[in-house]
Amino acid sequence: MAAARDRTLNGREYRPIAELLFDQLRWRGLDAERTFRDLVSMLAYGRDPHDTPFGHKNVPLTERIARARTHVSTPAKVEPIVVWLGYQSGQGFPQLSAGRVAFMNAHWAVPNAAPGRQDFEHRAELWELVKDGDLFRVAKRVDEESDVDFLVRVDLGRTTAAGALNRALRMVETILSVSIHNSGGIRPHLAQHGILRSGQVATFTLMLSRREAGFPDDHYGAGITARAIEEHGPRIASALVKGEFPRFLAAALEVQKTADHPFSRDMALRKPSEADITSVIPLTDRVVQHVAAHAALAPNDLFRLLGRRWPHARWRVDVRQAVHLCLLHRGYRNELRNELTHEWLANKPSRPWILFVADRSGDLLSLCRIESERAWIKRMFASVSDYTEYRALIDYYTAEGAVLEARRRRVRNALVHGNPAGFAIVDSVREYAKFLSGTALNLGLESYIEGTVPAATLSKRTDEFNAMQAGQDAASYWRDQLAARAGTDADSS
């Protein structure tokens, strides 16, 4: 009021004052927008925020200001806050609970929330939300469509209600982004939400978002997402119990999500454009810079650490690619092909995949019908058991990495500063750039989940790599690991 009446303010600098007040209210746990609406009502009309019907009251200005000051100075109430989120995904989701986050299949949970039905955790809370039949509705007949497919319960603990929805969404979005980045699938869309304060419904929304999968009824993509959340969700959710997700790591995850989106399953019906492919280079560079800031490392130092991982990682990818080329074609020795494919794609393999390649390389080569690739495939299989062959490949990949890193920097600088860059050159470094950002983000997330020092995690190498640097071949290393594991199991039994 004083600022509004002060005619010495030449530019009427109300926005900085309002932003300062908004920040003060948020830090005190109040809903800033709602509080300001209440202040407008009290100062302009002289009415209390909850007065009905709406009308103007003859309250003196001094009393209006005093009551408004009392209202805004009242501390925010601290109480148990729980947020329920309803998502559309095209498929239900199995029960999964980790930390303060719980996922559940809406098609099963909503009907069973009614009294007298099957009991489950948090049933009373869900019934409080769905008992009127408007929120989280699910189909009862085949020709009906559900408003939501799965529910997510986020327990924020004892806190203030201001910003509860955004806090819960940040936690769930982190879980979804990490899971989809690592395993693929479609991104579920938030359809409805409800907030409970001290067990009572505070606010809710019945607004629905349209289904936006890459193509209609993508149940396979939804299944990939469900399995990805089952695999990665519990660890992320448990880590989030420690507190707010680190700022720079959250920024890196958001940039990586932007880089992945044009190539995701959600965009399956749209071919990535040259602009989409080109944007990957500066975006992945930004991911690495954010992770470097999170780990308190200079960006160039982190790029060097990540570049040293390229040769061994590229070797592992090429060995797997050689296996895929052998299992590619059908109609020739199908019985052997089915046997090898079943073991290669098994969810719970009986041995490490490196040993599968070492032991069945002859059978795999007998299935190879691509004569132009046979020599390369044979060399890749030999490198699993022959250290000399592995070392020669690593030297080649190291030289390749140096060329790609120099080219990536030139392309990145050209794109950032608006200089022309040939698309073929840009596309040639896309795989390498994605490797750098993906590795940096995964290692940063691993350090956060495990509670280790980020810089140490980014510098640490796997035991397999260390053994092979010392002169041991991959097959021998994994045979030694299996023998040591069998000896430990025998001792414990």
Confidence of residue 301 (pLDDT cuts 50, 70, 90): very high
pLDDT of 98: 77
Q: What angle do CA 256, 181, 434 make, to 5 degrees?
A: 50
96 CA to centre of own chain:
17
404 residue type, one letter: L
Cβ atoms of 193 and 83 closer than 8 Å: yes
- Percent pLDDT > 90 in the chain is 41
Distance CA 28, CA 76 (A): 7
DSSP 352: -
pLDDT of 331 over the 80 cut? no
Alpha helices in 270-386 (DSSP H): 274-294, 299-326, 334-344, 353-367, 371-385
Is the pLDDT confidence value at 399 over 90? yes
Distance of alpha carbon 58 from alpha carbon 464, whole angstroms: 80
Which pLDDT score is estimated for 186?
A: 84
For position 446, what pLDDT does the model report? Answer: 93
Q: Which of 88-92, 275-279, 441-445 has the lowest mean pLDDT?
A: 88-92
Cα separation, 12 vs 15, whole angstroms: 8
Both structure tokens of 110: 């909503």
Residue 212 has pLDDT above 60, yes or no: no
User: What pLDDT was estimated at residue 213?
Assistant: 46
pLDDT tens sequence across 7-20? 666 555 667 777 78
Residue 468 has pLDDT above 90, yes or no: yes
Return the higher-pLDDT residue of 222 and 321. Answer: 321
Q: What digits encode the pLDDT tens for the residues 127-162?
A: 999 888 888 888 888 777 888 888 999 998 888 888
Contacts of 203 (CB under 8 A, 6+ apart): 194, 195
pLDDT at 175 over 50: yes
Query: Which one of 106-120, 295-309, 317-331, 407-421 scores highest in mean pLDDT?
Result: 295-309
> Does residue 209 register a pLDDT over 60?
no
